[in-house]
Structure 1
Amino acid sequence: MRNWRLFFTALSCAALSAIDPAIAASPIGNTVQTSTTVSASGRVLEKSSPVFFNDILRSNATGIGQFIFNDGGRLAIGPSATVTIDKSIYKGGKSVQQASIQASKGAFRFISGAFSVKKINTPYGTIGIRGTAFDFTIRNGRVYILLFRGAVSFCRGGNCKTLRSSCDYLVAGGGKISDPQALSAGIDQGLNIGEVFPLVVNQSKLNSQFRQGTRNCFSRAAQRTPNKSISPAVNAAAAAAAPDTPDTPDTPGPPGSPGGPPGNSGKSNKGFGNGGEADDSGPNESHNPGKGHGGPHSDGGKSKGKDK
C-alpha cells in the first residue's frame, strides 16, 4: 500500500509539472515592480511575484516590468515587450550554468549580476555581455544597443561590433552592424531616442535599482533646455538625468546598489543614426549618413521625430 501511495504521489507531481513546469520549479528571481499589465507565461505579475525558468515575460502597450535574479542581475522590460527567461539560466534554482535570454521585441535594460547572463539572443543576432549595464531595443527589423558601463558586443554570423565607451550606441539590421557612435551625436543628427531608447527617456518610471547615470549621454543642445530643436521628451530626460558619479566596477554590487555612470563618448560613425525602419532583409544603409526615421533629410537636418 505504501508503495502505491508513493507511486501516485510521484505521478501527481509529474502531471502538475507537465501542466505548469513553474509549479515544480524553484524561482530564479522576483518581480521588483510592475506598472499596468505585465505577465509571465500567462500569470499576471505584481510586486514580489516569482519568476521561473522558461517563463515568457510580456508587457502590454503601457506596461513596464522590473525583475531581479537570484545572482543580483536585473532586467527591465518596456511597453509591448516579449522575452523568454531561458531554462539554462539556473539548474535547480541554485547553480548557475551557461545562461541566455531570448528577446523577441520591445525595449529592455539589463544589468549584470555576480554570475548572470552571458548572452542575449535576438531575431537579428546575439548580444554578448561582459559585466555591464546597457539598454537594447528590438523594433522594425533592427536592434539598437546603448552602453552605460562595461562592454557589450553584437554579432551576426561572423560580423561583430563591440561597445566599450559609456553612452555609445550601435544599430544592427539589414544584415549590417553600424560602428559605435556617441548617443549625443545621434541626438544632434535627429535620432529619436524616445522610440529607440524609451527607458532612457522615461527613467523616472524605473525603480532606483535600475536607473543609470545618463547626463553625459545627452548632447549639449539637449542639456540647454528648453531647446525647440530637440524633442520635448529628450529635453525633459536631459534635464532630469542623474548626475554623474565616480566609476564603479563592471560587476555590480548586491541588489539595490546604484549602477555605474557613463564615461567619455566614443567616436562618431558619421551619423548612421537609427538607420532605416525596414525589415532585416532591407538594403545596407551604413553608407547613407543619418538616413532613417528621425534623421536629417532634405530639410538640412532640422527634422525631428516624435516620441512615443
Structure 2
Amino acid sequence: MRPHSRTIAAGLAALAACAAMPAAAQTVGTMTAERAAVTRDGGRVRAGDPIALGDRLRSNASGEGIIVFQDESSARLGPNADLTIDSFVYDTQRRNGTVRLLQRGGTARIFGGQISKRGRSEVRTPHIVLGLRGGIADVTVGPGGSSGTLLAGTMTCEAGGERRTVTNPGFSCVSDGSGVQTVRLGGGDSRFVDPAGGQGGSGSRTVSNHCASEAGMGSPACATRDGRLPGPQ
C-alpha cells in the first residue's frame, strides 16, 4: 500500500472509531438532595450529582431525592419512585421548551418551572398523561392505575381518548388507561409551592418552598406519611 493510501485508511479508521463512540449525555439538572437511597444504573446518586437526559432514577421503600432542572422546575422522588428523564429542551432566552418525564412507579411531586409556564411540561405514566401549567402535582403510579393530584396551577389529564382539565387544588385525575375520572381527594399541603414562583390555581396560597429544599427533607413537617409524600390523603 502506498504511503498516501495508508494515511487515508488510517483517517477513515479514526473517523469510524469516533462515530462508534457514544455521545456524552446532555446534563439537564442536578440532584440537590438524596437519602436512603436513590439509584441510577444500579449505582447510588448523591446530592450534587448531575442528572442527564435519559437517566432512570429509582428510590427504594425509604428513599427520597430532589432533582432541580435547568428551567427551575423540580421533581421530588418519594418512596419506590421510578422516574426517567425522557425529554428536556430549554431555550434560556425565551424561557420556553419541553420537558417530559416517564414515571413507572411510586410517588413523585412535580414542581413546574419556566417551561411549564410557556412550553409543554408533562408526566407520562403507563396509564395517563399529565400536563402541568405553572403548577404543582403529586403523581402516584401503582400496578393497576395512576393518579395525579393538583396542588397549584392547572393540570390536564389524558387517557383512553379522554381529556380533562383540573384547576382546583385537591382534585385528582385517576385512570387505569381506559379513560379519566376526576375526584376530590382533599386540600393540598400549603407548605409547598413551585420553586419557579408560579401562580397557584383557584384556592391556592403563596407559601414557602421549604419542603422542596434539602433542609426540608429532614423536617418533620415535610416527612412522608404511610409511604406517601405530604399532600392530599
Q: What is the TM-score when the length of structure 2 is the normalising length? A: 0.70
Equivalent AA in structure 1 for residue 189 of structure 2:
T
Tell me the secondary structure at the aligned position of residue 46 of structure 2. coil
Tell me the secondary structure at the aligned position of residue 31 of structure 1. strand
1:229-265 deviations in Å (ceiling 9; x for gaps): xxxxxxxxxxxxx3x9xxx8xxx565xx6x7667539
Q: What do you get for the CA RMSD once the two structures are aligned?
A: 3.4
Equivalent AA in structure 2 for residue 150 of structure 1:
G
Q: Residue 129 and residue 91 in structure 1: after superposition, are their counterparts in 2 closer, same or farther (change >3 A)?
A: closer
Equivalent AA in structure 2 for residue 90 of structure 1:
V
Q: Residue 71 and residue 92 in structure 1: after superposition, are their counterparts in 2 closer, same or farther (change >3 A)?
A: closer
Q: Shift of residue 90 of structure 1?
A: 3.0
* Rounded Cα–Cα distance in structure 1 between residues aligned with 2:17 and 2:89: 24
* Rounded Cα–Cα distance in structure 1 between residues aligned with 2:21 and 2:71: 27
Residue 147 of structure 1: aligned partner: 150
Residue 101 of structure 2: aligned partner: 101
1:116-155 alignment runs, 5 A limit: 116=116, 118-155=121-158
* Rounded Cα–Cα distance in structure 2 between residues aligned with 1:156 and 1:178: 10
Residue 59 of structure 2: aligned partner: 59
User: 2:26 matched to 1:26?
Assistant: yes
Q: Shift of residue 169 of structure 1?
A: 2.2
Residue 40 of structure 2: aligned partner: 40
Q: What is the TM-score when the length of structure 1 is the normalising length? A: 0.54
Q: Is the 8 A contact 1:167 1:263 kept in 2?
A: no
Q: Is the 8 A contact 1:149 1:262 kept in 2?
A: yes
Q: Residue 5 and residue 48 in structure 1: after superposition, are their counterparts in 2 closer, same or farther (change >3 A)?
A: farther
Q: Shift of residue 121 of structure 1?
A: 1.2
* Rounded Cα–Cα distance in structure 2 between residues aligned with 1:166 and 1:154: 14
Residue 172 of structure 1: aligned partner: 175
Q: Residue 159 and residue 40 in structure 1: after superposition, are their counterparts in 2 closer, same or farther (change >3 A)?
A: same
Equivalent AA in structure 2 for residue 103 of structure 1:
Q
* Rounded Cα–Cα distance in structure 2 between residues aligned with 1:182 and 1:92: 36
Q: Shift of residue 92 of structure 1?
A: 11
Q: Residue 253 and residue 101 in structure 1: after superposition, are their counterparts in 2 closer, same or farther (change >3 A)?
A: closer
Q: Shift of residue 152 of structure 1?
A: 0.5
Equivalent AA in structure 2 for residue 120 of structure 1:
V
Tell me the secondary structure at the aligned position of residue 182 of structure 2. coil
Match of 1:214 among 169, 173, 189: 189
1:22-68 deviations in Å (ceiling 9; x for gaps): xx133110001011121123332101101111111111121111101
Residue 186 of structure 2: aligned partner: 183
Q: Residue 73 and residue 11 in structure 1: after superposition, are their counterparts in 2 closer, same or farther (change >3 A)?
A: farther
Q: Is the 8 A contact 2:135 2:200 kept in 1?
A: no
Equivalent AA in structure 2 for residue 89 of structure 1:
F
Structure with greater proportional strand content? 2
Q: Shift of residue 97 of structure 1?
A: 4.6
Residue 81 of structure 2: aligned partner: 81
Equivalent AA in structure 2 for residue 148 of structure 1:
L
Equivalent AA in structure 1 for residue 54 of structure 2:
N
Q: Is the 8 A contact 2:105 2:142 kept in 1?
A: yes
Residue 72 of structure 2: aligned partner: 72
Number of residue-to-residue matches in the alignment: 197
* Rounded Cα–Cα distance in structure 1 between residues aligned with 2:91 and 2:203: 41
1:267-288 deviations in Å (ceiling 9; x for gaps): xxxxxxxxxxxxxxxxxxxxxx
Which residues of structure 2 form unaligned runs of 5+?
Answer: 1-6, 205-224, 228-233
Q: Residue 91 and residue 54 in structure 1: after superposition, are their counterparts in 2 closer, same or farther (change >3 A)?
A: farther
Equivalent AA in structure 1 for residue 74 of structure 2:
R
Which residues of structure 1 form unaligned runs of 5+?
Answer: 185-212, 216-241, 266-305
Residue 50 of structure 1: aligned partner: 50
Tell me the secondary structure at the aligned position of residue 183 of structure 1. coil
Structure with greater proportional helix content? 1
Q: Residue 175 and residue 26 in structure 1: after superposition, are their counterparts in 2 closer, same or farther (change >3 A)?
A: closer
Q: Shift of residue 111 of structure 1?
A: 0.9
* Rounded Cα–Cα distance in structure 2 between residues aligned with 1:183 and 1:67: 26
Residue 307 of structure 1: aligned partner: 226
Residue 264 of structure 1: aligned partner: 203
